Amino acid sequence: MTSYYKSRADYGDITSSFSPVFEKTACEYFGLKGDYTLFAQNVEKLEKQGVVLDVKKYQQDIIANAKIEGKSFDEIEGIV
Partner 1 sequence: MKLRASFKNVKRSVPAVKTAIYTWFRKYLGSKTWPEEMILVQMVLAHNGNRKQFEEILASAIEAYKAVREKEILKRVEESEQFYDFEIAKESFFNQHTDERVEHEKFVYEPCYLSASRLNPEKNFEKFLTENSDKIVWWWKNGENKQDYFGIKYEYPAGVIHTFYPDYLVQLTDGRIGIIETKDMGDRDGGNYTKAKAEKLQEYIKEQKGKKLFGGIAIEKSGGWKINQKSVYSWDKCEKNDWNDWEKLKF
Q: Judged by CB under 8 A, does residue 22 bind partner 1?
A: yes
Q: Judged by CB under 8 A, does residue 7 bind partner 1?
A: yes
CA angle 26, 24, 16 (to 5 degrees): 100
> Which residue type does 17 have?
S
CB atoms under 10 Å from CB of 31, counted, come to: 11
Q: Judged by CB under 8 A, does residue 19 bind partner 1?
A: yes
Cβ contacts of 26-32, under 8 Å, gap ≥ 24: none
Residue 45 CB, nearest approach to partner 1 (Å): 9
Position among 60, 62, 64, 65 found at the interface with partner 1 (CB under 8 A): 62
CA 2/CA 70 separation, integer angstroms: 55
Q: Judged by CB under 8 A, does residue 52 bind partner 1?
A: yes
Binding site for partner 1 (CB under 8 A): 1-19, 21-27, 29, 32, 36, 39, 42-43, 46, 49-53, 55, 58-59, 61-62, 68-70, 72-73, 76-80
